[in-house]
Amino acid sequence: MNVLEGLVPCDFLRRPALVREALDGRTAIVSDPANIRWLVGFAGSLGWVVIGPDRIVLVTDYRYADRAASDLAAAGLDGLVDIDARRVRAEIADAVVGAATASAGPGAVVLAEDGHLTHAAWTAFADQLPLEPAGNTIAACRRVKDAGEVARIATAAAIADRALTVVHPMLADHPTEADVRDELEYRMRRYGADGPSYDTIVASGPTHAARPHHHTGRRTIVEGDTVVIDVGALVDDYHSDMTRSFVVGAPTARQQEIFDIVREAQAAGLAAVAAGVKAVDVDTVCRDVFRAADVEDWYLHGTGHGVGLLIHEDPFESATSTDVLMEGDVVTVEPGLYRDGFGGFRIEDLVSVTATGCEPLTHLSRDLSLKDAPCLPSPPTT
């Protein structure tokens, strides 16, 4: 199943100009794989991009030469980006230094991704080049998503929606957490995903569901459990992210009360999202709901984050965030409440930020009861 057929292409041709504007005449060595993937389309595991005012060079291992040519052609950048494929790592490093020197000029400062390079790699380059930190220059350029990126994220989200719709009824059959995870990940691949977006979280019961980032284990899910399922799909290197929470069997009054508080907080957070809004304000409106219900101390994390080529990227919606939402951001809104002995609930949706609000990319029902989740079209037979 090729889920990419018919999708709007990503706009690679405008990206070098965006980066050059941000660099303001300087040359940069790009080493972060996500930034390389975004800038030139290359998805191999070993590559460096040198971008300057007049030239872009992709330096890679010779085993990736064909892959590099194919990826650049698919991005529409063949002829616009030079490929320099070398056989050994020392030659690759020399090629990066040579390209940077040729671009910036002998003795000129070259920017490098200090947040990605190891100390050893930085030191090795600094012995031959006058380096300065690039900070998040490239990441900032790729923060706002173009139509092709949103289409891929939305496709990944739809796949996760469909997989969870099909799989969640098995909770009533008392599977293990791992059984549910494995079925979700199989279904996402079956529906066209390249794989899971991250380690799928299936957290159940009074202890495991109280851990926001529980590591899915072999615990058997039983009647009365709260169950938190955090699941996303990966499509063409773009992530999706969604969480839904359930109770196995009829919820107790306290379970229903806590769930309703989480749903109210999430609705407030979604309503607050719009371009120009401070990210901290999205977090604040969710905390205000929890504070009014006297459960703020049950809230153990921030309210959301950007999603794209990385599962966690700018902007971050937290109590300490200094980010401001921008039109074209793709972000989560995911408040939750957790208490050991009770379990927990989290509701998370993925949205694209617009000038006046947001457009949802996840569509699965947020209802608590297993029987209330809507049925999507039947999946293909296995």
Q: Give the model confidence (pLDDT) of 209-263 as tens digits.
A: 999 999 999 999 999 999 999 999 999 999 999 999 999 999 999 999 999 999 9
| Mean pLDDT on 23-28 | 97
Average pLDDT value over all residues in the chain: 95
Q: Quick one: pLDDT band at residue 171, thresholds 50, 70, 90?
A: very high
- By CB neighbour count within 10 A (0-12 exposed, 13-18 middle, 19+ buried), where does 30 fall? buried
Helix, strand, or coil (residue 246): strand
Q: Give me the mean pLDDT over the 72-98 stretch.
A: 96
Task: Look at the pTM and tell me if it is higher than 0.85.
Answer: yes
Question: Which secondary-structure segment (H or E) carries 131?
Answer: strand 131-133
For the stretch 168-174, contacts whose Cβ atoms lie closer than 8 Å and that sit 24 or more positions apart, written own/partner, are 168/229, 168/244, 168/246, 168/370, 168/373, 169/370, 171/221, 171/227, 171/246, 171/248, 171/370, 172/248, 172/249, 172/370, 174/220, 174/221, 174/222, 174/223, 174/248
At residue 370, the pLDDT reads 58
Domains of the chain, each with CATH number or no CATH? 12-141 (3.40.350.10), 147-372 (3.90.230.10)
Q: Is the pLDDT of residue 372 over 60?
A: no
Cβ–Cβ < 8 Å for 360, 310: no
Per-residue pLDDT for 376 more than 80?
no
CB 323 within 8 A of CB 205: no
Q: What is the pLDDT of residues 300-322, one digit of tens each?
A: 999 999 999 999 999 999 999 99
pLDDT above 90 for 342: yes
Q: What is the pLDDT of residue 122?
A: 96
